[in-house]
Amino acid sequence: MTRNLRRALLLLVLTPLLYALAGAPQTASAHTGLVSSSPKDGAELAKAPDQLTLTFDEPVDLADVRVLTMDGNRLPVSRTPGGGSDSVRVALAAPVGGELAVVWSVIDEKDGHASSGRLTFTTGSGAAAAATTTGGDEAASPVPAPSPSVRKGLVAARWAGYLSLALFVGGLAFVALLWPRGTHEPRARALLVLAWIGGLLSTVATVGLQGAYSPTLDFARAGGPPSLGGFRDALRPGTYADVLATEPGVVLAARGLLWVLAAVVLGALMQGGPGTSRSPGWRVGALAVSFGLLRTTGMAGHNSEGSRPTWGAVADFVHLLGAALWIGGLVMLTVAVLPRRRAGELAAVVPGYSRLAAVSVTAIVAAGLVLAWQVVGSYDALLHSSYGHLLLLKTAVLGTVLLAAYASRQWVRTRLDLAVLLRGDAATVRPFGYSVAAETGLVLVVLVVTSLLVTADPGR
């Protein structure tokens, strides 16, 4: 085992400790939800109330809470006097025909997910009239929900972000630690550049899509029910301004700035070549940027939910780091190393990556178990919730990936020496290439399921 590889494995083990020392996150529940309202939903009141009090299950920022009447007028929201940070007061407008209906929406401060609901009150003689008109059927004004196109776009942006992160961080580690000569290989350079471009663009797109997920309630669609923001809202400058004023927006802005700094790290590597990858200054910069990208990516997930958020956050960081080292190295091996079929490179690179991948997969599985325990919380939730079903699907696909990885590892143990002796003979290397390609394709499916998990409600 080379000195560089030993250092990489030591870093993989010590990083959780560094992360824990950097600070522990605060406890959070699932997506922010409404606990109670005063007056209560459906209340029949003697006279119209001047204000409405909403209490949520966790602290909320006033900028993240929006309350509108059914005709689209936004109502003023302020802190409840003497109340906590989980309670807000809404100034109500005069009811029309004895009935007052409002729709509220709130953005989770931790992960940016939107929740919404509808409250209806009747006053005086309007109570009977409203009941006669609606027949008690609240479905006449359904609760607004995020646009399906926006949700799909958000999932796609996060998938691209995860893939770009893995290719960039894992690719840098692969080239710097296992294959320094790869800095001059056009395919390796192109892969790193595309990963950087994808990471920056996906971050920018996520800001707009996050804002469109719940920017304001849209009542302009003729004949349609009220809904949250549409896909066009993701392109409006005002949407970006609103999101960047929230805590999830600050995290996304920090990630974008880190991708800008990553361009400096990548440019220095490409200009300096193998010598730069051994430079202590470059390694410190690459480590700092990689740490920041992994940290800010993890902040958008559900890892801080549950009774032990620190364990969840550390496990999520290890999960992301292990996945980046595994996936980034795997794609680099598939795209840049194997097509060259150079015996010396195979002998030097493949065994080192095989050991690194084994440690990374072990870290992924161990951290995944901690995350499942932290976020899902019970066997019942695992078996009877959409989040649990997605998690089981991800586990099944990952199990198939591990079978392909085992086949690749067996080839390294039994056939690598022969491939080197035959100077990278195509027929000898081809089975290894097939198993690595299958492993790479299945990993992309795992990333898709991971993106769906981030937008799903754990429903603890």
**Among the three residues 100, 124, 140, which one is the final residue of a domain in this structure?**
140
Average pLDDT over the chain reads 74
Longest dimension (CA), the chain: 93
- Of 163, 151, 194, nearest to 444 by C-alpha is 163
Number of domains in the chain: 2
115: domain CATH number is 2.60.40.1220
216-246: per-residue pLDDT in tens?
Answer: 444 444 344 445 566 677 778 877 887 787 7
Cα separation of 369 and 315, whole Å?
Answer: 9
Q: Of the segments 119-123, 135-139, 193-197, 410-414, which one has the largest average pLDDT value?
A: 193-197
Q: Which residues 6+ apart lie within 8 Å of 233 measured at CB?
A: 150, 208, 211, 212, 215, 239
Same domain, 256 and 191: yes
- Which amino acid is located at 343 in the chain? A
Same domain, 319 and 356: yes
Residue 261, pLDDT score = 94
DSSP alpha helices (H): ranges in 299-378? 309-332, 343-375
Residue 223, pLDDT score = 41
Residue 342, pLDDT score = 77
Residue 73, pLDDT score = 72
Cα separation of 321 and 295, whole Å?
Answer: 10
Please give the radius of gyration of the chain, using alpha carbons only, rounded to the nearest integer.
26
Same domain, 168 and 97: no
460 found inside a domain: no
**Among the three residues 140, 164, 182, which one is the final residue of a domain in this structure?**
140
- Of 298, 270, 299, 294, nearest to 282 by C-alpha is 270
Same domain, 165 and 307: yes
Q: Does 176 or 234 have the greater pLDDT score? A: 176
Average pLDDT over residues 192-217: 83
Q: Does 254 or 124 have the greater pLDDT score? A: 254
Per-residue pLDDT band for 413 (boundaries 50, 70, 90) equals: low
Is the predicted pLDDT of residue 159 greater than 50, yes or no? yes
Residue 255, pLDDT score = 94
129 found inside a domain: yes
276 found inside a domain: yes
Is the predicted pLDDT of residue 111 greater than 70, yes or no? no
Q: Does 406 or 294 have the greater pLDDT score? A: 294
Average pLDDT over residues 9-22: 45
Residue 457, pLDDT score = 63
Give me the residue label for tokens 């406890």: 27
Same domain, 54 and 111: yes
Same domain, 276 and 336: yes
Same domain, 56 and 84: yes
153 found inside a domain: yes
215 found inside a domain: yes
CA angle 393, 398, 402 (to 5 degrees): 150
Residue 385, pLDDT score = 73
Same domain, 58 and 186: no
Q: What percent of the chain has pLDDT over 90?
A: 15
93 found inside a domain: yes
Residue 196, pLDDT score = 96
> What is the 3-state composition of the chain as percent helix, strand, coil, each rounded to the nearest 5?
65, 10, 25
Per-residue pLDDT band for 355 (boundaries 50, 70, 90) equals: confident
266-317: per-residue pLDDT in tens?
Answer: 999 989 888 888 888 899 999 999 999 998 888 766 555 555 667 777 888 8
Residue 54, pLDDT score = 85
Per-residue pLDDT band for 194 (boundaries 50, 70, 90) equals: very high
Same domain, 431 and 316: yes
Same domain, 104 and 136: yes
Quickly count: other Cβ atoms within 10 Å of residue 135's Cβ.
7
**Among the three residues 104, 122, 140, which one is the final residue of a domain in this structure?**
140
Contact status, residue 12 vs residue 321, Cβ threshold 8 Å? yes
159 found inside a domain: yes
Task: Residue 449: give the domain boundaries.
Answer: 3-29+147-455
Q: Does 105 or 428 have the greater pLDDT score? A: 105
Crossing angle of the two packed helices 3-22 and 309-332, in degrees rounded to 10: 150
CA atoms within 13 A of residue 70's CA, in its CB half-sphere: 16
Is the predicted pLDDT of residue 392 greater than 60, yes or no? yes
Average pLDDT over residues 159-181: 91
Is the predicted pLDDT of residue 427 greater than 70, yes or no? no
Same domain, 295 and 330: yes
Residue 198, pLDDT score = 95
For the ranges 36-50, 265-279, 411-425, the lowest mean pLDDT is seen at 411-425
Q: Before 458, cis peptide (omega within 30)?
A: no
Q: Does 95 or 402 have the greater pLDDT score? A: 402
Is the predicted pLDDT of residue 415 greater than 90, yes or no? no
